[in-house]
């Protein structure tokens, strides 16, 4: 234990924080608003437990977090206080990784998981397709399915599991909810109307509730078969980890007793974002008579920052947990060590507009003199907004502001595309924390197209497009001559592009230069070699050979952003290795089918971009826990709640609901230390009119800035959208590794 460092950091705490660190025993709830130092008190409290509690080993402490990043950061801070050996003996996990680790280390209690592996997203869809193709359904029949229905069903199953329900429990819940809905006042006529008297049931309302009930009961049947299929295939999905861990605790007194005896101190971070299943784990671990209602439970949360409600999180979690405890100490952290008071006051004025938070505790800024603009701008078009953003950021950088202290926040990952484009064009350095979908990347799509031709080089549709791929270096005139010959050929041996490329005599007849004839000959040989190798070697080995011999790897190494390009290739290679491991056998045709399935079901292969320095680009959700001097909140457009295809029989929260969106906007706003600049537009990319978010009108102290003069002076500056930007410098840590992987 580094006593000196502990004392130094403890000395910096305010009285409420010290109380949270010092109160080791019994249940403690810490209501920690944004910027109030919750991570610091969590780590100091763990260190204090180890320092002050006699007989307590690091293994007796369990700290549960919501994300892997939070777990990593907590352990890193703890290492600075206790040293690496002690910190790594403390059980610091996300709920899912904790459940998996306990299941793996106690296989006697979980025979279902012995030898089982995690199912992939594609395999989940394949299993569901198999079920629905053989199962007689009414609400999910082939005639009623739409694109995306498979993912909607899988998402619904995940939500059910996040509630801690198995198929039979879900069906029972459905029936209970139906009976409850029959007592709803909305189902009865309030006055007599036609043949119906006051108090009669409305036929349309009854039919709606019956349809919802029957659809969920049918979903329960699908759920049951789905779980059986997973077990038959020795697979489990991500949500099963929590569900089966709960059942293990409930069904085995020995396992529950072992867990309760081992984990004498439990700490929970971001409790407002935990779902019912995760809360059930907490309830079971602390439900030990020896505690007499006073377990050593330390919970940190802030219901104003509950932004993952789509994952099953609920503001009712605090209340449920409190009801199980006696003499609970509640500590409110009200001192903010991030934002100026103007940011905190404006954020407060926004959040209290929600009925759930009208009594929310006000935060006090530690910094008396921290100030900056709090402004809103509405532009006529999305391009005007982007140009203003780029010019304003550029001016800040020119004046000497640190780009790492500037963030651009937006609601959805797709909103980043325009920002990337204009920042590239105007040479603004940025760190894009949004994830790139490799299925939309132009370089990767070229590789996939060439692989399709290697699988079937008699396909003129694909071959014609391949001849235009830049790194193959076929002359455009050569390609046009080959395609012209194809159009003029009705029959005979040269009836496809491959035959034309293979026939030197035909190439001479159509006027192809000698060097292009040689290149065509090499390409034909490459296709033949590729076909043979794909049939005779494992796909991982073949793929590495393919990217080398096709010239694709050399092409990537010559790209301005070679490291990013190589990281994309490495991600594809990892996908191939993972699928090979899962399936045992994985061929080129399997890979192409895998790609088609991803596209058909709107699935992604994503990687984050890793820049060295620059303005941070991220979603509201991604910004949680971060802070910046200046925050731009762009595309502040009103979000409409979308009707659900499946309405589950419990509090199934989704984005678009006004209070959920308000909390999310509150989180975005409170990332700012000094400056918060909000903007929106009237006309989007499709020329459709959009309304600004209603939160603009709710925020007190927000100054509206006129944009007419700015937009009238834009003139030819829209040409910036067509400029080619300078390449960005990215992290170079993996370049040699990736090159060696494919060049060796």
Buried/exposed code over 509-528 (b: 16+ C-beta within 10 A; e: otherwise): eeebeeebeebbeebbebbe
Q: Residue 733 — very low, low, confident or very high, per pLDDT cuts 50/70/90? A: very low
Residue of 200 and 333 predicted with greater confidence: 333
Dihedral sign (CA 75, 80, 84, 85): negative
pLDDT at 310: 41
What is the per-residue pLDDT across 698-721, written as a single tens digit (0 to 9) for each? 999 999 999 999 998 887 777 766
Give phi and psi for 379, each to the nearest 5: -105, 160
* Contact indicator for 566, 740 with CB cutoff of 8 Å: no
What is the per-residue pLDDT across 416-474, written as a single tens digit (0 to 9) for each? 889 998 998 899 999 887 777 888 889 999 999 999 999 998 889 999 999 999 999 99
pLDDT at residue 143 is higher than 90: no
pLDDT at residue 74 is higher than 60: yes
pLDDT at 307: 62
- Three-class SS of 532-560: HHHHHCCHHHHHHHHHHHCCHHHHHHCCC
Residue among 358, 368, 272 at smallest CA distance from 38: 272
pLDDT at residue 312 is higher than 60: no
* Contact indicator for 728, 430 with CB cutoff of 8 Å: yes
pLDDT at residue 171 is higher than 70: yes
Residues found in the chain = 744
pLDDT at 656: 54
Residue among 602, 466, 454, 643 at smallest CA distance from 531: 454
pLDDT at residue 315 is higher than 60: no
pLDDT at 325: 80
Residue among 353, 311, 183 at smallest CA distance from 700: 353
The token pair at 163 is: 């509630």
Which run of H or of E encompasses 506? Answer: helix 504-509
Mean pLDDT score of the chain: 87
What is the per-residue pLDDT across 236-259, written as a single tens digit (0 to 9) for each? 999 899 999 999 999 999 999 999
Residues above pLDDT 70, as percent of the chain: 92
- Rounded average pLDDT over 720-731: 55
pLDDT at residue 146 is higher than 80: no
pLDDT at residue 107 is higher than 60: yes
Residue of 670 and 200 predicted with greater confidence: 670
Least confident of 104-118, 486-500, 542-556: 486-500
The Cα–Cα gap between 259 and 480 comes to: 71
Q: What is the CATH number of domain 3-111+243-333?
A: 3.40.50.300
Give phi and psi for 353, each to the nearest 5: -70, -15
Greatest mean pLDDT range, 130-139, 574-583, 597-606: 130-139
Which run of H or of E encompasses 530? Answer: helix 514-536
Dihedral sign (CA 48, 50, 54, 59): positive
What is the per-residue pLDDT across 219-230, written as a single tens digit (0 to 9) for each? 999 999 999 999
Q: How is domain 439-602 classified at the CATH fold level?
A: PCRA; domain 4 (1.10.486)
- Rounded average pLDDT over 324-347: 91
The Cα–Cα gap between 727 and 559 comes to: 9
- Is CATH 3.40.50.300 the right assignment for the domain spanning 351-434+611-722? yes
pLDDT at 324: 77
Q: What is the DSSP string of 236-273?
A: E-TTHHHHHHHHHHHH-HHHHHHHHHH--EEEESSGGG
- Rounded average pLDDT over 344-351: 95
pTM across the whole model: 0.82
- Rounded average pLDDT over 294-311: 77
What is the per-residue pLDDT across 467-509, written as a single tens digit (0 to 9) for each? 999 999 999 999 999 999 888 875 555 578 999 999 999 999 9
DSSP SS3 for 178: helix
DSSP SS3 for 419: helix
Residues above pLDDT 90, as percent of the chain: 56
The Cα–Cα gap between 651 and 657 comes to: 12
pLDDT at 311: 36
Residue of 101 and 293 predicted with greater confidence: 101
Can you list the pairs that 150-156 forms with residues at least 24 positions away whose Cβ atoms lie under 8 Å?
150/125, 150/601, 151/125, 151/601, 151/602, 151/603, 152/645, 152/646, 153/128, 153/219, 153/222, 153/646, 154/124, 154/125, 154/128, 156/219, 156/646, 156/648
Q: Residue 654 — very low, low, confident or very high, per pLDDT cuts 50/70/90? A: low
Q: Residue 734 — very low, low, confident or very high, per pLDDT cuts 50/70/90? A: very low
Q: What are the domain boundaries of the chain?
A: 3-111+243-333, 117-233, 351-434+611-722, 439-602
606-608/435-437 β-pairing: antiparallel
Q: Residue 629 — very low, low, confident or very high, per pLDDT cuts 50/70/90? A: very high
* Identical fold between 351-434+611-722 and 439-602: no
pLDDT at residue 368 is higher than 90: no
pLDDT at residue 653 is higher than 90: no
Query: At which residue do the structure tokens 């085995």 appear?
Result: 252
- Rounded average pLDDT over 86-113: 92
């Amino acid at each position: 234990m580094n006593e000196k460092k502990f004392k130094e950091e403890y000395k910096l705490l305010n009285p409420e924080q010290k109380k949270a660190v010092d109160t080791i025993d019994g249940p403690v709830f810490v209501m920690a608003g944004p910027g109030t130092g919750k991570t610091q008190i969590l780590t100091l409290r763990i260190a204090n437990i180890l320092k002050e509690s006699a007989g307590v080993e690091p293994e007796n402490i369990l700290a549960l977090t919501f994300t892997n990043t939070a777990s990593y950061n907590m352990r890193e801070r703890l290492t600075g206080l206790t040293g690496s050996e002690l910190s790594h003996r403390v059980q610091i996990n996300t709920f899912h990784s904790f459940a998996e680790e306990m299941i793996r280390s106690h296989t006697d209690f979980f025979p279902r998981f012995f030898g089982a592996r995690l199912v992939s997203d594609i395999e989940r869809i394949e299993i569901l397709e198999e079920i629905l193709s053989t199962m007689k359904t009414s609400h999910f029949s082939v005639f009623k399915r739409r694109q995306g229905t498979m993912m909607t069903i899988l998402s619904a199953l995940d939500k059910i599991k996040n509630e801690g329900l198995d198929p039979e429990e879900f069906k029972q819940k459905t029936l209970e909810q139906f009976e409850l809905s029959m007592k709803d006042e909305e189902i009865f006529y309030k006055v007599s109307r036609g043949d119906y008297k006051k108090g009669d049931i409305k036929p349309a309302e009854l039919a709606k509730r019956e349809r919802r009930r029957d659809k969920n009961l049918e979903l329960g049947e699908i759920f049951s078969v789905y779980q059986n299929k997973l077990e038959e295939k020795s697979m489990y999905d991500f949500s099963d980890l929590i569900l089966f861990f709960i059942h293990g605790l409930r069904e085995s007194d020995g396992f529950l007793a072992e867990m309760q005896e081992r984990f004498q101190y439990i700490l929970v971070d971001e409790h407002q974002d935990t779902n019912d299943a995760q809360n059930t784990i907490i309830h079971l671990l602390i439900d030990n008579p020896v505690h007499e209602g006073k377990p050593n439970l330390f919970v940190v949360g802030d219901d104003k920052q509950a932004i993952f409600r789509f994952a099953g999180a609920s503001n009712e979690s605090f209340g449920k947990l409190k009801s199980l405890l006696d003499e609970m100490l509640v500590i409110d952290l009200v001192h903010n060590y991030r934002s100026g008071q103007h940011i905190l006051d404006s954020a407060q004025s926004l959040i209290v507009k929600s009925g759930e938070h009208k009594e929310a505790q006000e935060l006090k800024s530690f910094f008396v003199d921290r100030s900056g603009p709090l402004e809103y701008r509405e532009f006529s078009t999305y391009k005007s907004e982007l140009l203003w953003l780029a010019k304003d950021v550029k001016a800040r950088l020119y004046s000497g502001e640190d780009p790492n202290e500037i963030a651009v926040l937006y609601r959805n990952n797709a909103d980043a595309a325009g920002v990337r484009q204009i920042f590239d064009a105007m040479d603004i350095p940025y760190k894009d924390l949004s994830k790139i979908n490799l299925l939309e990347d132009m370089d990767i799509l070229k590789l996939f197209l060439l692989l399709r031709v290697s699988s079937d080089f008699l396909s003129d549709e694909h071959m014609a497009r391949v001849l235009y791929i830049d790194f193959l270096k076929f002359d455009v005139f050569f390609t046009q001559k080959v395609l012209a010959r194809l159009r003029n050929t009705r029959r005979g041996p040269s009836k496809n592009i491959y035959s034309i490329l293979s026939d030197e005599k035909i190439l001479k007849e159509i006027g192809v230069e000698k060097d292009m004839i040689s290149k065509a000959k090499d390409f034909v040989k490459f296709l033949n070699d590729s076909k043979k190798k794909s049939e005779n070697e494992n796909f991982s080995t073949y793929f590495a050979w393919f990217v080398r011999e096709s010239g694709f790897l050399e092409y990537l190494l010559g790209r301005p952003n070679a490291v990013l390009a190589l990281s994309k290739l490495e991600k594809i290679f990892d996908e191939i290795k993972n699928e090979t491991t899962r399936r045992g056998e994985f061929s080129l045709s399997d890979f192409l089918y895998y790609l088609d399935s991803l596209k058909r079901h709107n699935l992604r292969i994503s990687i984050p971009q890793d820049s060295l320095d620059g303005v941070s680009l991220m979603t509201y959700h991604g910004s949680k826990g971060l802070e910046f001097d200046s925050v731009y909140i762009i595309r502040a457009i009103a979000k409409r709640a979308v009707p659900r295809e499946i309405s589950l029989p419990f509090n199934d929260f989704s984005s678009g609901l006004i209070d959920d969106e308000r909390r999310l906007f509150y989180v975005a706003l409170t990332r700012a230390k000094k400056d918060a600049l909000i903007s929106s537009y009237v006309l989007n990319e499709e020329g459709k009119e959009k309304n600004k978010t209603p939160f603009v009108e709710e925020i007190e102290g927000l100054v509206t800035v006129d944009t007419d003069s700015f937009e009238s002076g834009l003139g030819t500056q829209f040409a910036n959208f067509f400029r080619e930007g300078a390449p960005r410098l990215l992290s170079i840590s993996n370049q040699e590794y990736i090159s060696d992987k494919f060049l060796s």
